[in-house]
Amino acid sequence: MKKKVNIQEIDFEVYLDNALKSYGYLFPETDEQISTFEENMDQISIPEDLDSPDFVFKFERRIFLKNPIFFDNPEGEKNWAIAARDGKDIPSDILEKMAKDKEEAKKKQNGNQLY
């Protein structure tokens, strides 16, 4: 049976603090608050992994990998390149320089860099 309390006769802040602690809204401190909390607490099941504190001492390292999404859209890439040039064709001297830079990058990557 619950106690009936006349709030005018006690300090309201003390009463409120006790009620919050008894019903789990603040951490219970006294035995009475803990027993009231346990009576009114719903049973919450915990996962089997957490059933024993041994999980803390297991040195399992979990690695979470991001799965990047790759889009194969060469037509779209071509459109971006055209947009960057305002729809104009690439001049031949630029095409030659691009080919030369590509060859130099391949040589550098293979360790055959020329000085």
Residue 66 within a domain: no
Residue 37 within a domain: no
Residue 93 within a domain: yes
Domain count, the chain: 1
In which domain, by residue range, is 84 found?
80-109
Digit-coded pLDDT (tens) for 33-81: 988 888 887 776 777 877 777 777 776 677 777 777 777 766 666 666 6
Digit-coded pLDDT (tens) for 88-111: 777 788 878 888 888 888 888 777
Residue 94 within a domain: yes
Does the reported pTM lie above 0.85?
Answer: no
Residue 85 within a domain: yes
The residue whose two tokens read 């979470």 is 64
Residue 104 within a domain: yes
